[in-house]
Every structure is written in structure tokens, then in C-alpha cells.
Structure 1
Amino acid sequence: MPTQASQIRHLLPLRGLPEPVLDYIAQQAWSEHASPGEDLYALDGPKESAYLIGGKVTLTLENGNTRQIEFGTPAANIPLVAPKPDHAVRAVCDGEVELLCLPRDLIASIYISWWATEQKQSDGIELKEDNLEDQIYMNFYQQIQAGDYELPSMPDIAIKIGKAVENPNSSSDDLARIITADPPLATRLIRTANSPAFGGEKSITHCRDAVTRLGYGNTRNLVTSFVLKNLFKTDSPLIQKRMKQLWNHSRRVAAISHVLACMSPGLISDRAILTGLIHDIGAIPILIAASEYPELMADPKKLDRLVQSLKGEVGALILRTWGFPQSDIDAVLHCDEWFRFNEQAADYTDLIIVAQLFSYVGTHEMQNLPPPDLSPAFHKIAGGKLNPLLSISIINEAEKEISAIEELLEGN
């Protein structure tokens, strides 16, 4: 009989996960039986994570003490195997025992990406004035609240192009007039329009023709990308390295978002690229300001925590100042909430969440993140038709397209 979500929602670290995630995890569960006297920690014992769902088990601890775990008690809600209870060295079955098993990598990932975060939130964050990191956080936060934060400015040309694209009465001539006010930008746009990705049989030399060939959405995205790139710059070599990593990540997420949006009803691929480009915009002023704190410069992990805790709110302030739509502001605020769930159709926040997780696959950052298919957003993209093998296949097959979009957004 298939395992139901109701049978696992009380288990740790699954407790509190959104219902669709529990349903998905339940599909991966299976049961095993163990005989009286069998040691579950023996070499031939279960290798995956296992919970006691029938019978009793006696644990022997490192100090020689013993304690009994019985199905139906709170102690049975934590894994009996992978991970073992603290200090346990033997787990002997007192009669017939039934175990509910789940992939150990899955449980380990949930402990790191979900349970640890939930515990921190439920415990609350206590800021201490004698703690340097907390002092810096409070200084940054007070500046934000007071409106004293120096926010980056979006060049007027990008704002004008954005408004022109949203205006249904705009023409290619209208967009071209705005772009030609910046000759280097116009030159780059024409060069892009003549690139293999967009090139037709005839080479073009006029900005109006470039806008027509590229389309309004691509024109807006490319102009925004070209001007945004200049914001990811600073005089500090250490911070500039971080800026480069941030820009590369933003381009990668934008490109993957385009691919996923093409598969998802209600989401526009051109809009997805733009949201991907600006989803981490709040990190820029924080990184620039961090160069004034030697303690942060000397401790990358401390800097990471500060950026992570503030970038959403700072990014939302920036986008409101720039006049971006609420959908982009929501994405900036919630794009790192891997287990975000609502009953609505997939939105751009869902898209960026999934695109980010895919962008981290195969990197060391993935060690602290859930696999994409554990995110509720994953099961909303592409009309809910994705599965792990299909999604990886899609991303791999689209890698050339993703790389081409990244290169276009780089704008060299």
C-alpha cells in the first residue's frame, strides 16, 4: 500500500513541510521488516534513512546504557537509521519490527535546507550589541529604515526603454530614438542583432532595424543587461571578484528562467530573463558598503550571511525606486525561499526559485540547498509536468541555448 503524506508529516525533519512536498516525498518511501534480535546497525542492516513504524527497538549507547524506542512514542518520530540517534551503537529489535524507509540523501538534504532554517526562525534571532557582526547588521538595517542607504541608480535610458516597451503604441522608431541617444549602446545592440543568434541573411546597420529584428522584449532585456553590468563594479579587488560571481550567477539564472518560462503557461520568457537579471540586485550596495568594514573583508562567511539577510529588502527598495512591477519585487524578496508554497499558478518568483536551484546543480553551493524537485515551485513549473529526470534532460538539452543567452547578456 502506498505511503501517504499523513503518515510522514509528523516525522523529523519533515515536520512543517508544505503538503505538496510531503506528497512527493511519500511517493519515495517504502517499508522494510526486521526480525527479533536483529541489530539494525549491523553491516547487513538498512543503509537508507529508516523510521520505526511498528514494534520496539532497544538502543545501546556508547556508555553502555540502554533505552527502548517504541512505535507511537515521540522518540519514534526521529530517524532510527541514517542518521542514528546520538551516541547509539546498537539497535536491537524486540520482536518483529517494521520500518519506513526514505533515501538517506533526501533526509540529509532536508535537515540542512529545511529543518536547520526552521529551527533558527522558531528560536528567533537575538542581536547583541557587543557582537561585531550584529553591530554591522544593525547599522545596515537602520540605514535602510531611515532611507539613508545609497541605492544604485538605473540609467534613464533603461527606464525609458522599459516604459516604451510596455506602451502598446510604441514603434521600433520610438525605441530606436531612445537608444541612439547613447551611441555606444546603439552600436552594441546592432552588433548583437547581427550575431549568429539573431542574424538574418542581410547585415543591418540601423538601430531601428536592430530593434525590429530583436523584438521589443529582447531589446529591453539587452539594454537593461548592458547598463546593469556597469552597476556590478567597485574599486575593491576583493569585492569586485564577488561582483563578478554575482553577475555571472544573475546571467545564468536569467538564461535558465527563459528556458523554463517557455514551458510554463502564463509566464513570458522575455519577462523571465529580466526578472532573472535583477533578482539579486540588492546585494550590490551591500557589497560596496562592506568594503568599509575590514572585518567583513577578512571573513567571507560573515559577509555572505550579511548579504543573505539584507539583500531582499534592499533589492525591493531599489526596484520600487526604479518603478519595477510588483512581480519583480516579490521575486527579489522571496527568491531564496526554497520551500515557498501557495495554491496559485506558477509566478515569476517560483520561476526564479527553480532556476536558481538548477544553476547551483553540480556546484559546492548545492551542499546546503534542497534538490530542485523538493521545492514546491518545481511542481508548478511547466504545468506541473516536470520530474527530476525530465527536468535535468531539458536543462542539458538546452545548455547551448542557455550559454548563448548568457553570452548575449554579457554584451562584450
Structure 2
Amino acid sequence: MVFKSDSNPAVSNADENSVMILAAAAKVSPVGELNDANREALCKTATVVHVQRNDQIKPENSHRWLMYLVEGSVHLYSGKEEIGVINAGTPEALKPLFLDKGAHQSARTNTVARIVKFGREQLSILLKEQQKNAINVMDVQVGELDNLVFDDIVAAMETNKITLASSAEGAEKILASYRTVAGIPELAEVIQSDPGLAVHIVRAANKVDSSNNDSTSSIRGAITRLGVTETQRTLIDLLQNNTMVPASAVIEKRLRRFLQRTRLSAAIVQVLSTKVPDLKPEVATMVALASDVGELLILTHANRHADRFTDEQQLVDVIKNLRVIVSAWLMSHWDFPEEFIDACNVARDWYRNHNGEITYTDLVTAALLIIQSEMPEPMHSSIPSANNLLLARRLQQAGIDLTAPDEIVKAATGRLLTLQELLKAA
């Protein structure tokens, strides 16, 4: 690596460099996950690298440093072939250079650039200690649109009028196919194609005998408890009276995205659960279907105010602010087992400490990480790469490699294709 580095901490943290390092630390991932005190400690050992024209940057020491472009631009190379450009101030610059070693082997600038280097091992230690001492406190800054949707949901909760809507297209397919399936496993697969319907069916089953302390946690269990005929009757009633027709293109797009992500997440979790002997695939599937159920509720109520959500980013921000709170609240309000509530609260806590056995929540987190890596959200996402996450290391010990998800996605996609065939059977 041939460039000038202000490697003396006394120099690198003085004046301009100090300001640059602190500003970068607050923005880049995963450094920005540190609290103020830990971030300040990491910045004391950080350095600023001044890259001159045509200087070459190579990943030899990437195991020691996380490097971020903070000024200028760099061209990425695989061998002698240029494969991309990163500009400071863009979402790509918030991720470390050379984190994915297979993507590019070197970088250089045609003008000048600056790179901030943070110690990888120190960051790992600080994150680990922070996770150990973490207290589950949710601090959300909400705006007018958040309050508009949230007030609607609160009113529905208070009057017991909460419903989880099905898409009109999905309802039509299920109503056309449910009578043609051969048995309970196939009927369960059809119901699981609709997250809202699946949650309603499990809830209905758990209300059958209120004196029974054993809650069912799967669609198969719910069908067994209700009986096939009653399940079909409940299904018909819900789908005929509880569908949502999106009032705008914005809401239609986000509803479609939610359904695609949730179905794929459930399929991935079902695949992953086969590698964890203590977890049941049918329960894992249901936990995944319910973990973001608050998003469906938010979309349902936002649809009533579609004229206020003309910009997609507005709706994305409301979902991000309210999804965890509403999901966990609904699961608790409807007396779902603890593993469902835990998944709602914790699955998106990417940097959490991980001790003990792998849980259903861990598998949901893994599924979301895989989906983001393979089919990234087109708008800016807060979901990080699986690299350097404590959970990813723990899952790897169980034979689940989140950095090589191809086979997992292939198996999950196969399950979804089987489901599509069931829905087409009619």
C-alpha cells in the first residue's frame, strides 16, 4: 500500500483529522452502533490516510483495519479490470472497503482521497462489551405521520377491532385452491402463504379452549385443534371480509415487498431450523411469519390515509419507526407464546450479544440478513452485512454460514415453488 498515513494518534486526532474521524464514526457501519463513550474510545486509535493520485490500496491488513472512504473517490479493481467506483458521501461509502474480499482486490484514486481506518479488533471488543451491558430501551423519534397511523392502531386495539388484512390477489388464489389440497400439511402450506391469515388462524385455534394452557404455535397444530372443516370455515370468513385493496401505488409496492420478504423469510427459517435439532420447522415458520406482523397492520391503517403517503420514503420511515413496537404489542395483546414476542422485539437487533442456544429469533434474524444480502432493499436499509456479527459466528458453529447463502436460498426458493404449485392446483 503506497500512500501517506497520519498514523500517529496525536496527529491523526488533532484538529481537522479529529473532526473527520468523529464524523465518520457516527455514520459508518458498524462503528455507528457504538454508544458515545465507546465511539470516542475507538476514535482515539483511528487514523486518517491521505491517498495520492494513482496510489494503490490493497487489502493486506484488512483483518486489522476497517477502512472507510470519507473524501474523494476510489476506483475498484479486480486484477487489472476496473469494476466500480465509490464516492464519498454515498451509501456505498458507509460500508468498509475490502469487507467482501472476493468483490475487488485493490482500489486507487485518480485525484486525491482520504480514508479513515478503525481498529477491527478494538471495535469487535467494544461492540461485544456494549452488547453484554445492553438494556432493552427503545427510543424512537416519531413525527406527524407516525402518530396518525399509531393513533388509528391504538383505537382499533382498544375496541378489539384489530384485523390483519390479506391482499386481494392472495385471497383469490387461496379461496380457489384450499379445497383441492390433499391433507393437513398441504392446507397448512396454503395458509402460510398469507402472513395475516396464518396469524388469525393460530389465534382462533388458541381461543377454542381457554382453559388449555398449551398454546399451539404452528399452522398444523392450529388445524388439528380447530379441525379441517372449522379451519376452512374460518379461512373463508377472513378472506371474504378482510382483504385490502391498496389505495395507491406506494402502498401497493410496500405491501408486495412485505409479502415477498415475509414468505421468503419463513421459507428460509424452515430450511435453517433443520440444522438445529431443538427447534421445530413448523414453529420456526410461524414465528417468521409473525415477526414483522406490525408492518402489515401499519400498511392497513396507512391505506386509510393514502393521500398522506404520496412519497414512498414517508411510508418506509413510518414502518421503520413503528414496526417493532406494533408487532410485539399485537403478539402480546393476542396472547401468543413468548418466542413470538421475542422475535418481534429482538430479531432486528443485529448487534446483540449471543450466549446460549440458538433460538427461533436467531433464525429470523439470519433470514433477514440473507434476504438483504441476496435481494437488497432498493431504498436505503439499516440491515448490515453478516460479517463481524456475533450471531453469524454462533450460527456458523451450527453449520449455518450466512456469508455463503446460495444453497439456503436455493432450498427456500424450492419450497416457495412447491407452494405456488399448490395455489395453482385449482
TM-score under structure 1 length normalisation: 0.55
**Do the aligned residues in 2 keep the contact of 1:232 with 1:244 (CA within 8 Å)?**
no
Deviations 1:163-204 (A, max 9, x none): 789579xx99x938632135567xxxxxxxxxxxxxxxxxxx
Q: 2:385 matched to which residue of 1?
A: 371
Distance in 2 (CA, whole Å) between partners of 1:230 and 1:411 is 24
Residues 45/248 of structure 1: CA separation in 2 closer, same or farther (3 Å cut): closer
What amino acid does structure 2 have at the position aligned with 1:41? Q
Q: 2:418 matched to which residue of 1?
A: 404
For residue 337 of structure 1, give the secondary structure of its aligned residue in structure 2.
Answer: coil
Alignment of 1:5-404 (within 5 A): 12=25, 13=28, 15=31, 40-48=51-59, 79=67, 82-83=68-69, 85-86=70-71, 103-105=97-99, 134-141=143-150, 147-148=157-158, 150-152=161-163, 158-161=202-205, 175=224, 178-181=227-230, 183=232, 233-234=244-245, 236-238=247-249, 239-294=251-306, 296-365=308-377, 368=381, 369-381=383-395, 383-388=397-402, 390-396=404-410, 399-404=413-418
Distance in 2 (CA, whole Å) between partners of 1:233 and 1:137 is 20
Q: How far does residue 402 in structure 1 lie from its aligned partner after superposition?
A: 4.8
| More moved, 276-285 vs 371-380 | 371-380
Deviations 1:225-279 (A, max 9, x none): x968986623525334432332222111101000001112322111011111112
Q: 1:94 matched to which residue of 2?
A: none
Residues 232/328 of structure 1: CA separation in 2 closer, same or farther (3 Å cut): farther
Give aligned pairs, total: 289
Distance in 2 (CA, whole Å) between partners of 1:328 and 1:409 is 27
| More moved, 313-322 vs 286-295 | 286-295
Distance in 2 (CA, whole Å) between partners of 1:396 and 1:282 is 28
Q: How far does residue 396 in structure 1 lie from its aligned partner after superposition?
A: 3.0
Residues 78/352 of structure 1: CA separation in 2 closer, same or farther (3 Å cut): closer
Instruction: Name structure 2 gaps, 5 residues minimum.
Output: 1-21, 35-48, 75-95, 102-114, 124-129, 131-136, 165-196
**Do the aligned residues in 1 keep the contact of 2:275 with 2:399 (CA within 8 Å)?**
no
**Do the aligned residues in 1 keep the contact of 2:279 with 2:359 (CA within 8 Å)?**
yes
Distance in 1 (CA, whole Å) between partners of 2:424 and 2:244 is 14
Distance in 1 (CA, whole Å) between partners of 2:60 and 2:333 is 49
Distance in 2 (CA, whole Å) between partners of 1:384 and 1:241 is 36
Residues 232/311 of structure 1: CA separation in 2 closer, same or farther (3 Å cut): farther
Instruction: Name structure 1 gaps, 5 residues minimum.
Output: 1-9, 19-37, 54-76, 90-101, 128-133, 186-222
**Do the aligned residues in 2 keep the contact of 1:334 with 1:349 (CA within 8 Å)?**
yes
Distance in 2 (CA, whole Å) between partners of 1:373 and 1:364 is 16
For residue 282 of structure 1, give the secondary structure of its aligned residue in structure 2.
Answer: helix
For residue 365 of structure 1, give the secondary structure of its aligned residue in structure 2.
Answer: coil
Distance in 2 (CA, whole Å) between partners of 1:344 and 1:382 is 14
**Do the aligned residues in 1 keep the contact of 2:273 with 2:363 (CA within 8 Å)?**
yes
Distance in 1 (CA, whole Å) between partners of 2:244 and 2:366 is 27
Provide the identity percentage: 19
Deviations 1:52-86 (A, max 9, x none): x9xxxxxxxxxxxxxxxxxxxxxxx984xx41x44
**Do the aligned residues in 2 keep the contact of 1:261 with 1:268 (CA within 8 Å)?**
yes
Distance in 2 (CA, whole Å) between partners of 1:338 and 1:44 is 35
Distance in 2 (CA, whole Å) between partners of 1:409 and 1:275 is 22
Output the aligned Cα RMSD: 4.9
Distance in 2 (CA, whole Å) between partners of 1:277 and 1:308 is 18
Residues 300/181 of structure 1: CA separation in 2 closer, same or farther (3 Å cut): same
TM-score under structure 2 length normalisation: 0.53
| More moved, 381-390 vs 257-266 | 381-390
**Do the aligned residues in 2 keep the contact of 1:48 with 1:104 (CA within 8 Å)?**
yes
Residues 156/289 of structure 1: CA separation in 2 closer, same or farther (3 Å cut): closer
**Do the aligned residues in 2 keep the contact of 1:282 with 1:315 (CA within 8 Å)?**
yes
Distance in 2 (CA, whole Å) between partners of 1:240 and 1:411 is 26
For residue 336 of structure 2, give the secondary structure of its aligned residue in structure 1.
Answer: coil
